Structure 1
Amino acid sequence: MDWPQLPSFHEIVKRFSLFSTSLSCNPEVGSGGSLDCRCQGCMEWHAFVEGNSPLSKEVQYEVFTKEHVQGLANYLLLQAAEYNVLVLEVLEVGAGSGRLSHHLNRYLDQISLSSKDCVVHVTASDSGERGLNGPNVNLEDALVSVTERSPHIVLVSWMPMGVDWTAHMRATPSVLEYILIGEMDDGICGDPWLTWGYRPPGDISSSDSSLEPGSPGTSDLEFRSKEHPSTCSNYGPGIATVVVESEITSVEIEGSKFHTRSECPLDTKHEEIPLQARRPFEMDGWVRVELKDLCELQICRTDERWSTIRHSHTVSFRRSYECT
């Protein structure tokens, strides 16, 4: 399939006046309790993401931009070097038409022409249940695809709501990391608890307040990380522990900066979940890191012109290796 060039982030924002409290918008509460605006600008934006616009004939959950995809490609190259592999095998499951994998490979090919370093190869698969699988997408169930292809990294964009593929990814020996793109936590991607480890405020159904440091229900890493949140950072097998002395450490590849190296692996954004109530990915020995620099370049169908809230995120889950 001959895909057109991806639009730039700023081009889309400017074209549809996104992330601004536009005076032309007048959102009202609909019958379902959600806010909706029927002004011409919002109607054009909704038509664009729903594939009913001269600018787009494909339904878009994630509006992939040139900057976001290039940044993701650069991140994958960074991970190939960290995991010390000559060829990093990346598998996108639930890939639909394969547009993301296509543009990732195209950009990675451009880099490889001028570099003799690590190679990243992205393969796309989709079950075909929605009839969206493109000509370069392998017709495979997501879990079967992960098992049979043994990738190093699994990529998922907008995992179906209420579905969790991540437990199978963590149980696959070859998988060192998986990256989720879309709404996180209590959003419409995956399962809030099984996928993201999110419980609503006040929900302590999975917690046990009697657990103390060193008890069978907790890990030493959790408590050491809580006590020293800025001195513990590990990102892959065979890689030395990184000890940071400031809150931000930058890595720059091909003009793209990433500031995730200095973050403690344990994501403590949702303080309503006690550390003792280990989340499914923590129980399996994995850590969660939001790739904030990539998140700033994302646009999705649930974003609204009249709101500054960004709904889509890019989040990495990696195998945990204890600090030394």
Structure 2
Amino acid sequence: MDAYFFRRCVNPMGRWRRFWTDSFYSPSMYMYFDGKLKSEKELEELLFRDLHPAKAKDPIELHHLEKNIRFTSWVRNAYMQKKFGNSEILKKAEKDLKMYADRLPSLDEVNSLFKLRNWNRKPKGSENSLQLRLIQEYENGSGTKCESWGLEELLESIGCCIHGMNEFNLYCERNFVYEFFTSDYANALHKHLLQVSRSIATKEGKSTVTILEIGAGTGKLTNYLNSIRVKNDPALKFVATDTGTWAAKHKYKRVNGVSVEKYDYKTALEKFQPDIVLCSWMPLGEDWTQEIRNTQSVKEYILIGEIDDGCCGHPWRTWGHVNATNNMYKFAKNKGNDSVNDGKSVDIFHWMGRSKEAKQYEQSPTTQTAPLYAKDGFSRVELPISHLQLSRYDRQHYAANSHTIRFTRREKK
């Protein structure tokens, strides 16, 4: 019976059938398996029976799984729960981090808690080199070269990106953390904000510069930035805004001392007319930057998270990134197919929560043209503080997934 339920979740199907299956059937089945599977070995047995290219009697072709976002998300989390869930490192980290409920730990403290000191923050190679090798083994060996694959290799081949993860990643998954803010990073960001604010205050004769964070969640970043006081400098008015739906969904507790104003990003921009805008991990497939640029008071906006074809914002509208075709990190049958892992929602409930304009954002140009931010008179520069960032998707060999990018309005000549 378990085999039947599992196969229904992972069997190949059309886009719309997949959409409805992942809305109403798959979530319940994955919850069932979460409760039933007690160990990493049991998870391995479940997956190998239907998915392993060399060990399953009738293996499902792996390129179908690459397109199944609901499955890859579930199995990545299930794997980490079974592998690290009872780790003493994780237990100690969860206990110690409760002390930081209203402040931020240092990067050194996080490195020590999760054993991250040997993680590569300035990688030169590809993050997905192992996945590429596994895909080539699968496609060139008709399954025979995959005989030695273990559970990690199987999951890595379909894009679960679990190689090199540890308790840190599971902590982020459990606590719905995408950007793990540290005091080192926040201090460096504040230094930049202060420098820009001084320039704005001097040029425009302002005594107060407004810095607005949209999609602020619990407001933890704004709270810390607001706590830093510098004498004899322009007053910085920090405002954190969020619709509140994300925090409520994940049962996030309010951070003491932080007042997060309940506004969507458009209303917040109109109401506060900020000089500078902050946004961390803009929702995948959506773009808020056009409205930011249309707000004439904005001199600069800063985006924190994955960039270009990563999982923040819209590749073209937000970043000016033209989608690559024939992606080498996809199975051959999926290369050049824009519908594969294209950032579309995987269930009806997420679609109901998206901004009304989200559907029109799906298409990107296929040839290079001037980015929208450039056409609107903004320039793009990465701040030299990205090496201080920690992302839930960082791994030992590639701990550089998150970036801090400033977009500055060019002065009119």
Give TM-score scaled by structure 2 length. 0.52
Could you tell me how far 1:202 is from its partner in structure 2? Answer: 5.8
Could you tell me how far 1:43 is from its partner in structure 2? Answer: 4.6
Q: Give the aligned residue type for 1:87.
A: T
Structure 1 residues 21 and 69: CA distance shift in structure 2, 3 A: closer
Alignment of 1:287-306 (within 5 A): 287-292=379-384, 294-304=385-395, 306=396
Could you tell me how far 1:13 is from its partner in structure 2? Answer: 2.4
Structure 2 unaligned regions, length at least 5: 1-99, 121-150, 327-365
Deviations 1:145-187 (A, max 9, x none): 1111100011001101011000000001111110000001111
Rounded Cα–Cα distance in structure 2 between residues aligned with 1:77 and 1:33: 40
Match of 1:310 in 2: 400
Match of 1:87 in 2: 208
Rounded Cα–Cα distance in structure 1 between residues aligned with 2:316 and 2:275: 24
Q: Confirm or deny: 8 A CA contact 1:19 1:308 kept in the other structure.
A: no
Rounded Cα–Cα distance in structure 2 between residues aligned with 1:149 and 1:133: 25
Q: Confirm or deny: 8 A CA contact 2:169 2:393 kept in the other structure.
A: no
Tell whether 2:153 aligns with 1:32. no
Rounded Cα–Cα distance in structure 2 between residues aligned with 1:287 and 1:8: 31
Match of 1:281 in 2: 373
Q: Confirm or deny: 8 A CA contact 1:158 1:189 kept in the other structure.
A: yes
2:243 to 103, 127, 136: 127
Match of 1:77 in 2: 194
Rounded Cα–Cα distance in structure 2 between residues aligned with 1:46 and 1:309: 11
Q: Give the aligned residue type for 1:185.
A: D
Deviations 1:77-96 (A, max 9, x none): 10111112321100000000
Match of 2:182 in 1: 65
Q: Confirm or deny: 8 A CA contact 1:199 1:273 kept in the other structure.
A: yes
Q: Confirm or deny: 8 A CA contact 2:390 2:399 kept in the other structure.
A: no
Could you tell me how far 1:199 is from its partner in structure 2? Answer: 1.1
Q: Confirm or deny: 8 A CA contact 1:161 1:190 kept in the other structure.
A: yes
Match of 2:292 in 1: 169
Match of 1:49 in 2: 172
Alignment of 1:130-149 (within 5 A): 130=246, 131=248, 132=252, 134=254, 136-149=259-272
Match of 2:310 in 1: 187
Could you tell me how far 1:133 is from its partner in structure 2? Answer: 8.1
Could you tell me how far 1:10 is from its partner in structure 2? Answer: 2.2
Rounded Cα–Cα distance in structure 1 between residues aligned with 2:235 and 2:185: 19
Rounded Cα–Cα distance in structure 1 between residues aligned with 2:103 and 2:160: 34
Whose relative contact order is higher, 1 or 2, with alpha carbons under 8 Å and at least 6 apart?
1
Partner-residue secondary structure (3-state), 1:50: helix
Match of 1:206 in 2: none
Q: Confirm or deny: 8 A CA contact 2:308 2:319 kept in the other structure.
A: yes
Rounded Cα–Cα distance in structure 1 between residues aligned with 2:152 and 2:117: 14
Could you tell me how far 1:62 is from its partner in structure 2? Answer: 0.6
Superposition CA RMSD, Å: 2.6
Rounded Cα–Cα distance in structure 1 between residues aligned with 2:195 and 2:159: 44
Q: Give the aligned residue type for 1:286.
A: F
Tell whether 2:406 aligns with 1:320. no
Partner-residue secondary structure (3-state), 1:71: helix
Q: Which has the higher helix share?
A: 2
Deviations 1:247-276 (A, max 9, x none): xxxxxxxxxxxxxxxxxxxxxxxxx975xx
1:103 to 219, 224, 232: 224
How many corresponding residue pairs?
233
Could you tell me how far 1:103 is from its partner in structure 2? Answer: 0.6
Instruction: Calculate percent identity across the aligned residue pairs.
Output: 35
Rounded Cα–Cα distance in structure 2 between residues aligned with 1:309 and 1:21: 6
Partner-residue secondary structure (3-state), 2:245: coil
Rounded Cα–Cα distance in structure 2 between residues aligned with 1:189 and 1:279: 17
Q: Confirm or deny: 8 A CA contact 1:80 1:118 kept in the other structure.
A: yes
Partner-residue secondary structure (3-state), 1:299: coil
Tell whether 2:109 aligns with 1:11. yes
Structure 1 residues 322 and 29: CA distance shift in structure 2, 3 A: farther
Deviations 1:181-218 (A, max 9, x none): 00011110000100011113469xxxxxxxxxxxxxxx
Q: Which has the higher strand share?
A: 1
Partner-residue secondary structure (3-state), 2:190: helix
Structure 1 residues 322 and 97: CA distance shift in structure 2, 3 A: same
Could you tell me how far 1:5 is from its partner in structure 2? Answer: 2.9
Deviations 1:87-138 (A, max 9, x none): 110000000011011011012x3x2xxx112121210000112225846100
Rounded Cα–Cα distance in structure 2 between residues aligned with 1:93 and 1:133: 18
Structure 1 residues 302 and 278: CA distance shift in structure 2, 3 A: same
Q: Give the aligned residue type for 1:70.
A: N
Query: Displaced runs of 4+ in structure 1, greater than 6 A?
Result: none
Rounded Cα–Cα distance in structure 2 between residues aligned with 1:141 and 1:20: 40
Could you tell me how far 1:320 is from its partner in structure 2? Answer: 1.4
